[in-house]
Amino acid sequence: MSKKQLAHHRPKWKTHIGFVLATVGSAIGLGNIWRFSYLCYKNGGGAFLFPYLIALFVVGIPLIILEIGLGHKMRGSAPASFASVSKKWEWLGWWQITFVMFGIVLYYSVIIAWCLNYFFFAFDLSWGATPDKFFTETFLISTGSPFQIGNIRTIILFSLAIIWFLNWFIVFKGVQNGLERASKIFMPILFLLTATIILWGLRLEGAMEGVAVYLKPDFSQITNIKVWMDAFSQIFFTLSLGFGIMIAYASYLPKKTQIVRDSLIITGINCLFSLLAGVGVFAVLGYMAHSSSLPISEVVTESIGLAFVAFPKAISLLPAFSNIFGILFFGSLVIAGLSSSISIIEAFTSGIVDKFHYSRKMVVSALCIVGFLGSIIFTTQAGINWLDIVDHFLTQYGLILGAIFECLAIGWFFKVNKLRGHINHYSGWKAPIFWNFCIKVISPLILVAILISSLTEEFSHNYGGYSPVAIILIGRDWLIYTLFAALVIAFHPWRLDPRKRMLVHEHDQKKKY
């Protein structure tokens, strides 16, 4: 195969709506349903939307424009795109997709497997009257220690196999027949399920009290720096920034595309979904508080506890069709999770295929087998502890560090004006000069502040009460090993230099236009 043929050997989205739905599907995950609503409740209700929107405009939108613009210009995955900026930055692209593929998606797929288990539990409300005991003592049978591995939970392992099979099947089928087709099915179903949950929840007695607690503004919280840190962190994590996903997805776009407009659409849908999903969650929690004669503060829990303890308890209290509501809720979680996990696998697949030109189907198959095997540790009785530690370190440090280096690479070494010129050349909606300042100064400074805040808290006390040995061996070293793997891959020569491929594309597009 000639170099020119290799340069053109790249899939494309069949339709523009397919790209938008795929990127929205990557952004909308489990955190939109259970994390945003709790953060909003904890940080001043409706007042939290003020720092949240500021975070959206000075970090979220600028960074997603950067990643989509970079992937579109360089016509490659994250490693190929950063290698096109400079060979010295290739390691960054590999690190981003490596710790996401061999870290985040390993435990994330297990959480999706839990959701799948609970989807079936909802048919007869298997969690009974004490969902908290059912979750920890019957379902997980947690040992409570990361070093007491215990046994593999067969019921979780079986569901995990189904999730990895679905991941494999969708990504194996390719961009048009796999990712795009799945997104066109998944996202309308997810929106429909979420709308049903919201409308159903709002009709319950006490629902409006729950929504009022969720959105009632407490402007005294605005002066709390922790609230601002939570707002910026949530925007960063919820948009899949620093994952390498948006770069890979954008590389499949046609040359003539609306980068700025699409970025605004993706961020807008993601944030609106989070806000509305929170209405549904707190409507049901309001009903639960009303039925139990308890204040909202005593029924609200965060993260995993909200999905697998508080919500099952609320579902059991519903006056009618509680099993159907449970099926809808956990079905929506499975779909939201899958739409994100397939994007992570695609980002790594794209990087390997770009560099080595291996068969896509072979790469996806090998990745999913290794991914399934790597996920097994999280299906053990110590799995939830491993999950907690790995998630904390990869999201709080890996993603943040990756994004800081991303801003430095594009803002200062590549010269951000070059990328802005490319974006504005092909987009009807223009990126303003303020975007340059956001990428070069505001975004990296805010991300550094989040990093320092996390490190300060880390050194003040051991995260989650875990031993220093557990934190170092499971959390810190996971990041180090993935960085080492990224450096090893980055030193391997390209079959076709990514800059040459980009030049071939640019030459052909100039002739075309």
pLDDT in tens, the chain (513 residues): 555 555 556 789 999 999 999 999 999 988 888 788 888 888 888 888 899 999 899 889 999 999 999 999 998 999 999 999 888 999 999 999 998 999 999 999 999 999 999 999 999 999 988 888 999 999 999 998 888 999 999 999 999 999 999 999 999 999 999 999 999 999 999 999 999 999 998 998 999 998 988 888 888 888 888 888 888 888 888 888 888 999 999 999 988 889 999 999 999 999 999 999 989 888 988 988 888 888 888 877 767 777 888 889 888 888 888 899 999 999 999 999 999 999 999 999 999 999 999 999 999 999 999 999 999 999 999 999 999 888 888 888 888 888 899 999 998 888 888 899 999 988 888 989 999 999 999 999 988 988 888 888 877 887 777 888 888 888 888 889 999 999 999 999 888 877 776 665 555 555 544
Domain that holds residue 471: 3-512
Dist CA 322 CA 306 (whole Å): 17
CATH number at residue 376: 1.20.1740.10
Amino acid at 180: E
- 3-state SS string for 170-182: HHHCHHHHHHHHH
Instruction: Please choose, from the candidates 305, 464, 469, the residue with its C-alpha nearest in 3D space to the C-alpha of residue 385.
Output: 464
Here the tokens at position 501 are 């491929």
Residue with tokens 């601002």: 228
List phi, psi (to 5°) of 482: -70, -35
Instruction: Please choose, from the candidates 347, 424, 497, the residue with its C-alpha nearest in 3D space to the C-alpha of residue 65.
Output: 424
List phi, psi (to 5°) of 85: -65, -50
Burial class (CB in 10 A: 0-12, 13-18, 19+), 124: exposed
Query: Quick check: 244 and 83 in contact, CB under 8 A?
Result: no
Dist CA 135 CA 114 (whole Å): 10
Here the tokens at position 102 are 């061999």
Provide the 10 A C-beta neighbour count for residue 456: 9
Dist CA 319 CA 38 (whole Å): 25
Residue 380 bridge partners (DSSP): 152
What is the total count of domains within the chain? Answer: 1
Query: Quick check: 280 and 206 in contact, CB under 8 A?
Result: no
Here the tokens at position 491 are 């030193």
Dist CA 140 CA 131 (whole Å): 12
Dist CA 347 CA 97 (whole Å): 7
pTM exceeds cut of 0.85: yes
Q: What is the CA radius of gyration of the chain?
A: 22
